[in-house]
Amino acid sequence: MTRPVRARINLQALAHNLSRARKAAPDSRIMAVIKANAYGHGVIPVARALAAADAFAVASLEEAMQLREAGVRHEILLLEGVFDAGELELAVTHQLQLVVHCEQQVRWLEQFRSGASVHLWLKVDTGMHRLGFAPDVAQAMWQRLQRLSYVKTGGLRWLSHLACADELSSPVNDRQLERFAEVMRFSESLQGRAVEGSLANSAALLTRPDMHFDWVRPGIMLYGASPLLPAHTADAALRPVMTLESRLIAVHQRRKDEAIGYGQTWVCPEDMPVGIVAAGYGDGYPRHAPSETPLLLNGKPVGLLGRVSMDMLCVDLRSQPQAQPGDPVVLWGEGLPVETLAQQAGTISYELFCKLSPRVPRVYE
């Protein structure tokens, strides 16, 4: 490896964050969300580091098969279910669990014949208004699905997704909890026994124990980023898993009134040193990050200057005039929370992680 940009993935931090989830929800089982290549961290190494989780959740059959082919034997849930009837046989063969969120999927399941047993999760729309059945319709779908002979006893569960869990004061949270509890009570009264359910994402896992139910689904918190809005904090003691780092590759002395980079958007207010870092939007650093967005050079903050290029970005060296090519730079991670960059760039940590380019080597520690 010659180009210095790389993403260091701390697998010990990943296991630590899973333990924090377990501590926050001790009476629930953990379904670790590792879709989208484990939020850009690398799904196979992440799955192995999270072996203590009770189950995994992914977005598609392709993602699940990647895990199965790597020898991962955990329960795996397809969060969007199958996308056509033809996927059902493969999903059942590989013991994948399915979310059911629309009537078409119900019809496919009613027409399907299998000698194997299947776990299904019926998705109820409690307020996200994206996927799932309205609560009254969901009750009817529950009755249809429980008639399927290949659904094992206890193999039909409830699932919903929170729209505003990152905003602790939102009244939407309590409304969604009430609607979810209502369908749980319906199925329990119908079947005369307890039924399993899952509502809590990372934010609710850390802040709303009344939402934990039988399964919690931590995602972003596993990777060491806060699931809450900047106005809120949670003492979760999370550790950053990914540190995106590079090095200075050049240092120049610029004169007052010289402009920096594409569009000449930043002009030197005085004679000053400017550093060039080998990292850019081609690596996943956000192009729209504004000037003065912080980076760490030699462990100390410096500010971004001008527009981010595909392969390079410029930094203000006035606070470190002795900096030299080869000096280490942290773009996010240890010492510089990814949330800081996300807030500066008007995005979220999820997007930064997921947009990390495949050309950036992941180095697992």
* Measured CA angle at 237 (ends 235, 238), to 5 deg: 120
The average pLDDT across 131-139 equals 97
Residue 232, pLDDT score: 58
Residue 231 has pLDDT above 70, yes or no: no
What are the DSSP E strand ranges found in the chain?
A: 6-9, 29-33, 55-58, 75-78, 96-100, 118-123, 151-159, 197-198, 215-216, 242-254, 259-260, 266-267, 272-277, 294-297, 300-305, 313-316, 328-332, 362-364
Nearest by Cα to 77 from 36, 31, 111, 138: 31
The average pLDDT across 85-103 equals 96
Token pair of 301, please? 């903050």
CA-CA-CA-CA torsion sign (18, 213, 77, 360): negative
Q: Which of 35, 123, 223, 350 is catalytic?
A: 35
Which residue shows structure tokens 């990914």? 242
What are 30-55's pLDDT values in tens digits? 999 999 999 999 999 999 999 999 99
Residue 193, pLDDT score: 86
Residue 161, pLDDT score: 98
Residue 234, pLDDT score: 56
* Neighbour count for residue 166 (Cβ, 10 Å): 22
Helix (H, G, I), strand (E, B), or coil: what is residue 212? coil
Residue 153, pLDDT score: 73
Nearest by Cα to 64 from 94, 84, 86: 94
What does the radius of gyration of the chain's CA atoms come to, in whole angstroms?
A: 24
Residue 354, pLDDT score: 98
Residue 85 has pLDDT above 70, yes or no: yes
Share of the chain above pLDDT 70, in %: 98
Query: Residue 39: phi, psi to the nearest 5?
Result: 55, 40
Residue 235, pLDDT score: 58
Q: Which domains does the chain have, with CATH numbers?
A: 11-223 (3.20.20.10), 242-364 (2.40.37.10)
Helix (H, G, I), strand (E, B), or coil: what is residue 157? strand
Residue 116, pLDDT score: 86
Residue 1, pLDDT score: 55
What are 328-348's pLDDT values in tens digits? 999 999 999 999 999 999 999
Nearest by Cα to 318 from 330, 331, 305, 329: 305
Residue 308, pLDDT score: 98
Token pair of 361, please? 């080597």
Is 150 one of the catalytic residues?
no
What are 148-204's pLDDT values in tens digits? 988 877 899 999 999 999 999 999 999 999 999 999 999 999 888 889 999 999 999
Residue 286, pLDDT score: 98
Share of the chain above pLDDT 90, in %: 92
Is 23 one of the catalytic residues?
no
What are 232-264's pLDDT values in tens digits? 555 568 999 999 999 999 999 999 999 999 999
Q: Which of 23, 152, 262, 300 is catalytic?
A: 262
Residue 191, pLDDT score: 83
- Please state the length of the chain: 365
> CA distances (Å), 51 to each of 146, 221, 233, in order?
31, 16, 28
The average pLDDT across 56-73 equals 98
DSSP state of 222: G
